[in-house]
């Protein structure tokens, strides 16, 4: 008898749980009613900007639930092309705009700068590299630190995995796409940092904001990797993140204006910093 009722109770409880779970998914947010109701904002472009765009659009839609933001990651050039064809509102590019693009009325709005620091073990006597030397190290033409005036020690070339944004930017800026001979391919900034901190002959690259005292960042062409030098353009291992519009932002629709206002607000700046990017001045 008792067993019988236990079985029945279990079935009932399970059913109630399933039904409850099904309805929980349908919970809708109450949206504040404004003039933006039902508007859509379409972005397309650079794959490297995925982290920034995802974080930005997510928090934007939380604040303005009546706007639907969609971002496609198709590559910088095709993003700008889509903008020119007016199939999107904003074209994302992880490079400066070309003259040809500007001639078609595309306006370059730099929302963030991606800076990369070249890092060395603290025990390494080398502290400055030229762009040429950096390229030679990463393509395997220079394999010992003594060539660069350091100790007689083999260079351990550490990088990120294929598909990583940092790796993409690093190889793109130095024009060594897929020519790098990595001794280690690690899948996180933390891992690169830890390895460079523990291997005396190693070299690696990470986002500028991740640099700390466990490693030292090398200066490039005599210019130290600092936010200041990135903003004034003297440190060259960096690239701008552009959200291009057709015509000035001030001439755009309300929803686009709101988007840029949000990016330049304190909240937006926080998001830019949180994904490891430098704010443009």
Q: Give the residues lining the site for another protein (CB under 8 A).
A: 1, 3-4, 7-8, 10-11, 47, 50, 73, 140, 143, 154-158, 161-165, 168, 177-178, 181-187, 195, 198-199, 201-202
Q: What is the dihedral of CA 134, 135, 138, 144, to 10 degrees?
A: -60
Q: Smallest gap, in angstroms, from Cβ of residue 178 to another protein?
A: 4
Q: Smallest gap, in angstroms, from Cβ of residue 41 to another protein?
A: 22
Q: Smallest gap, in angstroms, from Cβ of residue 22 to another protein?
A: 18
Q: Which is nearer to another protein, 157 or 255 (CB)?
A: 157
Q: Which is nearer to another protein, 57 or 121 (CB)?
A: 121
Nearest to 70 by CA among 94, 83, 53: 53
Q: Smallest gap, in angstroms, from Cβ of residue 199 to another protein?
A: 4
Q: Which is nearer to another protein, 127 or 144 (CB)?
A: 144
Q: Which is nearer to another protein, 214 or 265 (CB)?
A: 214
Q: Which is nearer to another protein, 108 or 153 (CB)?
A: 153
Between strands 156-160 and 202-207, the pairing is parallel
Q: Smallest gap, in angstroms, from Cβ of residue 160 to another protein?
A: 9
Q: Which is nearer to another protein, 3 or 86 (CB)?
A: 3
Contacts of 123 (CB under 8 A, 6+ apart): 200
Secondary structure of the chain in the HEC alphabet? CHHHHHHHHHHHHHHHHHHHHHHHCCCCCCCCCCCCCCCEEEEEECCCCHHHHHHHHHHHHHHCCCCEEEEEECCHHHHHHHHHCCCCCEEEECCCCCHHHHHCCEECCEEEEEEEEEEECCCCCCCEECHHHHHHHHCCCCCEHHHHCCCCCECEEEEECCCCHHHHHHHHHHCCCCCCCCCEEECCHHHHHHHHHHCCCEEEEEEHHHCCCCCEEEEECCECCCHHHHHCCCCCCEEEEEEEEECCHHHCCHHHHHHHHHHHCHHHHHHHHHCCCECCC
Q: Which is nearer to another protein, 19 or 162 (CB)?
A: 162
């Amino acid at each position: 008898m008792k067993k019988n009722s236990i079985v029945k109770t279990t079935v009932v409880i399970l059913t109630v749980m399933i039904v409850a779970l099904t309805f929980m998914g349908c919970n809708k947010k109450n949206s504040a009613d404004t003039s933006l109701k039902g508007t859509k904002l379409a972005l397309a472009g650079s794959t490297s900007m995925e982290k920034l765009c995802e974080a930005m659009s997510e928090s934007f839609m939380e604040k303005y639930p009546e706007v639907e933001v969609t971002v496609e990651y198709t590559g910088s050039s095709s993003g700008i092309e889509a903008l020119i064809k007016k199939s999107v509102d904003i074209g994302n590019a992880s490079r400066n705009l070309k003259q040809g693009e500007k001639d078609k009325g595309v306006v370059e709005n730099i929302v963030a700068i991606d800076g990369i620091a070249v890092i060395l073990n603290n025990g390494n006597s080398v502290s400055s590299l030229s762009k040429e030397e950096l390229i030679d190290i990463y393509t395997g033409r220079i394999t010992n630190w003594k060539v660069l005036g350091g100790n007689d020690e083999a260079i351990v070339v550490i990088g990120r995995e294929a598909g990583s944004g940092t790796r993409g930017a690093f190889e793109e800026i130095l024009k060594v796409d897929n020519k790098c001979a990595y001794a280690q391919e690690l899948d996180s900034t933390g891992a690169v940092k830890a390895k460079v901190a523990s291997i005396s002959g190693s070299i690696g690259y990470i986002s500028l904001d991740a640099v700390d005292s466990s490693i030292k960042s090398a200066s490039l062409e005599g210019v130290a990797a600092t936010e200041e030098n990135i903003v004034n353009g003297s440190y060259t291992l960096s690239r701008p993140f552009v959200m291009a519009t057709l015509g000035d932002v001030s001439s755009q629709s309300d929803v686009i204006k709101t988007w840029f206002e949000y990016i330049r607000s304190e909240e937006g700046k926080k998001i830019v910093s949180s994904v490891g990017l430098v704010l443009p001045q």
